[in-house]
Amino acid sequence: MAVVAAAELVLDVARGTLYVDAGAPTAALPTPPRMAAHDDQSIVLACAGDVMYATVGIESHDQAPAPLADPWITALEKVVMNLPSGDLLLENLDGGEVRYPDLGITAGRWNVDVHVAGREKALALQDQMDAEFERGNLDLLPGLGPERWLVRFWR
């Protein structure tokens, strides 16, 4: 159960939603209390904050990875995706995107699970920021938030 390759990217959350996909995102937004949704070619992550940066790690495994312990929470149990290519993008709703390096993930059928950590801290920080905005403090920009996502691929 070894990690074959891994990469971690950071992207502005932009209204609380990030997509991991191999082209244009096609999955519907998750409805609360769900934290993530997927379809055949994309995953949608519903982040706790909407004006901070989230970290999204991608791992490629040679077989089913071991379960994760605290502080990780499972957002999506094992699902199957059929990727049209191995070019994975991290995108936000406002059109920002970054491309993951080659992790050995190619076109075809992949098992995927999704986990998140730091969500409670991100929710608390978002509440604090919302209160500051209501007081007229519009200069409050948190930068990198505490929320971390991990998306694991294996065949």
For the stretch 29-68, pLDDT in tens is 777 667 888 888 888 888 887 777 888 899 999 999 999 9
Domain locations along the chain = 3-154
CB within 8 A of 123, min separation 6: which ones? 48, 49
Question: Cα separation of 122 and 94, whole Å?
Answer: 20
- Per residue in 72-106, pLDDT (tens digit) is 999 999 999 998 888 888 887 667 778 888 899 99
Residue type, 95: G
Task: Report yes or no: 34 and 69 within 8 Å, Cβ to Cβ.
Answer: no
Position 78 scores a pLDDT of 93
Position 13 scores a pLDDT of 65
CA distances 68 to 27, 90, 104, 150, Å, are 25, 22, 22, 10
Position 88 scores a pLDDT of 87
- Residue 20: is its pLDDT beyond 90? no
Position 67 scores a pLDDT of 93
Residue 43 β-bridge partners: 20, 38
What number does CATH give the domain 3-154?
2.60.34.30
Position 140 scores a pLDDT of 66
- Per residue in 114-149, pLDDT (tens digit) is 999 998 888 888 888 888 878 887 676 667 788 899
Position 141 scores a pLDDT of 63
Position 24 scores a pLDDT of 63
